[in-house]
Amino acid sequence: MIMNTNLLSKYLVDSKYLSGIIYFEELYSTNAYSKKIYHELKDNTIVLTSYQTNGTGRFGRPWQTNRNENLTFSLIKDYGLRIDEIHLMNFYTSYILYLTLNETSKDCSEHDLYLKWPNDLLLNRKKIAGILLDVKDMNSDMKKFIIGIGLNVNQEIFPEDINSKATSMKNEFKCEFMIEMILINFIKLFNENLCLLNQGDILMKLWKSKSNVIGKKVKFKQLDDGREAEVVVMDIDNDGGLIVSDVSGKTCKFYSGEISILYDE
Ligand code: BTN
């Protein structure tokens, strides 16, 4: 089904949660499009599509999802954060997405939903959502954040290469979800909790409370040179860094990279 934009407008624009919704049945990438026309995009606009032909993830990886089955959009948010606070927007967005999914699935079967550093959501140990943050007007006090979100909602079949790592709400909860309602809930929660962006320490504490990685043995991959190491996660610092201890007990902090939790069984 294509997106019901009348419903979205009624709940999100009429009530002033959003200033506008730009919808395409098909678009190359909501983030790439938003970056191209960011001068024209007002604060609190979303660029939404039912199908991305060239969606991208972190580190330039493809983000491919089926037509009409998932949530793919970018939220344009003007916000005053210092350069050393920019990571908070990533942690904030993934935390709000966590709250949204938790709320949406409260009547569903037992499940494990966790935040994975730096900003993934795992459901029953598989990735269900990803966030790609672009920032414009970096040197101004008021920065323009392009917050790209991909959430797997009703897709049942994933390409073979990611099948063991990716999942959707439908696959885990065994029912179909209304994509519009998830988006409405996300935008409301995003607007209603914005004060957390000015309370970084509290935000990071909340984020960590929804993550299951501290104290775990993980495989850490540095994406610039592809180096991998088995380490134990000691903490996530308030500046967003992942503090790990290696086999020799040496502690290091990373700001970028990817972890996979090493489960015992
Ligand atoms: C990741 O986990 O690597 C981030 C994935 C982000 C995907 C979303 S879908 C909407 C927006 N447009 C894009 O091209 N990417 C983001």
My answer on whether 84 and 135 are in the same domain is yes
In contact, 150 and 168? CB cutoff 8 Å: no
My answer on whether 235 and 195 are in the same domain is no
My answer on whether 117 and 229 are in the same domain is no
My answer on whether 154 and 112 are in the same domain is yes
My answer on whether 54 and 129 are in the same domain is yes
Query: Per-residue pLDDT for 264 more than 90?
Result: no
Taking the alpha carbons of 27, 29, 30, 35 in that order, is the dihedral positive or negative?
negative
């009429």: which residue's tokens?
14
Q: Ligand 1: does its nearest atom lie under 6 Å from the Cβ of 33?
A: no
**How many domains does the structure of the chain reveal?**
2
My answer on whether 145 and 241 are in the same domain is no
Phi (first) and psi of residue 130, to 5 degrees = -145, 155
For residue 131, report the distance from its CA to the centre of ligand 1, in Å: 6
Length of the chain: 265
What the block records as the tokens of 62 is 């493809």
My answer on whether 115 and 37 are in the same domain is yes
Looking at 209, 233, 253, the residue that finishes a domain is 209
**Cα(41)–Cα(49) distance, integer angstroms:** 16
For residue 264, report the distance from its CA to the centre of ligand 1, in Å: 30
Q: Ligand 1: does its nearest atom lie under 6 Å from the Cβ of 65?
A: no
H-helix or E-strand spanning residue 183: helix 179-192
pLDDT digits (tens, 9 = 90+) for 138-187: 999 999 999 999 999 999 999 999 999 999 999 999 999 999 999 999 99
- Parent domain of 249: 217-261
pLDDT digits (tens, 9 = 90+) for 3-24: 999 999 999 999 999 999 999 9
My answer on whether 154 and 244 are in the same domain is no
**Cα(223)–Cα(229) distance, integer angstroms:** 12
My answer on whether 64 and 160 are in the same domain is yes
Which range is least confidently modeled, 86-95, 101-110, 195-204, 233-242? 101-110
My answer on whether 180 and 229 are in the same domain is no
Q: What is the pTM of this model?
A: 0.96
My answer on whether 88 and 119 are in the same domain is yes
How big is the chain by its Cα radius of gyration, in Å?
18
């984020």: which residue's tokens?
207
Query: Per-residue pLDDT for 265 more than 70?
Result: no
Q: If you write DSSP's letter for every residue of 76-90 in order, what string do you get?
A: EEEEE--GGGTHHHH
122: closest CA among 146, 151, 148?
151
My answer on whether 72 and 191 are in the same domain is yes
Q: Ligand 1: does its nearest atom lie under 6 Å from the Cβ of 118?
A: no
**Pocket mutation for ligand 1, best pick of 22, 24, 72, 119 (most atoms within 8 Å of C-beta):** 72
